Structure 1
Amino acid sequence: MTTDQVAEPFSRGLRMAIEDGHARAQGSVFVEALVEGRLNLAGYTALASQHYFIYTALEAAGEAMAEHPVAGRFVVDGLRRVPALADDLAELIGPDWRDRVEQRPSTAAYVARLTEVAAVSPTAFVAHHYTRYLGDIAGGQVVRAQLRSQHGFTDAGARFYDFSAIAPVPTFRKRYRELLDTAPWSAAERAEVIAEAGTAFDHNVAVLTDLAADLPTFRAA
């Protein structure tokens, strides 16, 4: 191993390791349709519904990890998405939304993985936490602007992408990278984070692929 490799911040190494997964997610036909305004409201609602199940499992894992000396540092109240998603789905579907949303098979597999590993393994939790929250913070403002212009959402309906509780976002992202870089992980534990982050992206892409199968019914008029 070279001196440069030893000195490389873990946050940079992690980002580079998951570039392929990130590209697959961002390049999915469903995400492209979303950011380009080619989804109708039913399409966005389908995505928000799956996010609700995923984030419910992830934030339950966060509760389990809150007291862990390393993983607990990543549990930030201002990041919680479940309350925002509940508000969004009530707006999008109606007050009986809990009785009407269903997990897709790909989402059920994602939730099962979160339940299996993220609630018990600190490295797996951080891997899933990183891929979900940092990804949605990064791309969320583009989607939020699209929802505002296409569907008129300025509050409920698009709260999932409102990260004002952790503003300013650049400062938060810098602090998050510092947490990754200073976590007292061994080389093996860092490898575990990278491997599980890849698995997280595989699940995310599977959900997007599942949703893309219904694009003919989700196309905006």
Structure 2
Amino acid sequence: MTLSEYLREGTADLHREAESSAFVSRFMNGGLDRDTHSRHLLALQTIYTALEDGLESLKDDPRLAAFHLPALWRRAALQADLEYLRGPRWHDEAPVPAARTYAEHLRALTTDRPLRLVSHAYVRYMGDLSGGQVLRRMAARQLGLSGDGVRFYEFPEISDVGAFKSDFRRRLDELPLVDGEREALLNEARSAFHLNAVMFAELT
């Protein structure tokens, strides 16, 4: 079994739980409001800043270099969305505590266990390119947004999402690992889902 298959199968139960969470159900059932949407983006801004700072700092690492993929970076899009939705002082607002905990965890990994950032890149970006596109359509329709306010979900530098996802999986599958690292990556991917679940609960 390839690493990408191993991660997908090993997180399938948590993926189903995420899809049935109260937060996602609210999204899908027409209950999203602009404040909740923007608070979600504020939380994500905190998380993606930590993740992308880490990936940027490790771009010369022999194994992590394959996951330095700026076409995926979400910070600029999130900043634009937040400025549109919450105004120029959005950065003075505090995200939900779970987002800060998540970001602190990512910063600790960058220093102590950098390989595990790959698991978070897998969970976050592959999710954004897959189910995230459904959420984009729902948010745009419910909130009357087009472009501004939902740029987080848009990847203008990726012309073929399917091909990009296949390439990302190939990078995972070609990652050289030693004993125990495969299992560690799965455990970290599961941690990513758990951290996200706590954030969803705080946003609901």
Give the TM bin, normalised by the shorter chain: over 0.9
1:59-78 superposed matches below 5 A: 59-78=52-71
Residues 45 and 92, structure 1, Cα contact 8 Å, conserved in 2: yes
SS at match of 1:166: coil
Whole-Å Cα distance in 2 between the matches of residues 164 and 139 of structure 1?
17
- Which runs of at least 4 in structure 1 moved beyond 6 Å after TM superposition? none
Instruction: Give the unaligned 5+ runs of structure 2.
Output: none
1:57-104 deviation digits (Å, cap 9, x = unpaired) = 1111111211111112111111110000000001101111112x2122
Select 2:125's aligned residue among 115, 133, 148: 133
Identity %: 34
Are 2:191 and 1:199 equivalent residues in the alignment?
yes
1:27-75 deviation digits (Å, cap 9, x = unpaired) = 1101111122211111111111100101111111111211111112111
Whole-Å Cα distance in 2 between the matches of residues 120 and 140 of structure 1?
30
Note the C-alpha offset of 1:167. Answer: 2.2
Whole-Å Cα distance in 2 between the matches of residues 35 and 123 of structure 1?
34
SS at match of 2:8: helix
Residues 32 and 139, structure 2, Cα contact 8 Å, conserved in 1: no
Instruction: Give the unaligned 5+ runs of structure 1.
Output: 1-7, 213-221
* Match of residue 171 from structure 2: 179
* Match of residue 107 from structure 1: 99
* Match of residue 116 from structure 2: 124
Instruction: Give the superposed CA RMSD.
Output: 1.3
Are 2:3 and 1:10 equivalent residues in the alignment?
yes
Query: Number of paired residues?
Result: 204
Note the C-alpha offset of 1:159. Answer: 0.3
Are 2:33 and 1:52 equivalent residues in the alignment?
no
1:136-156 deviation digits (Å, cap 9, x = unpaired) = 111121111112222222112
Select 1:90's aligned residue among 65, 83, 87: 83
Whole-Å Cα distance in 1 between the matches of residues 83 and 111 of structure 2?
28
TM-score calculated relative to the size of structure 2: 0.95
Are 2:26 and 1:23 equivalent residues in the alignment?
no
Whole-Å Cα distance in 2 between the matches of residues 83 and 44 of structure 1?
17
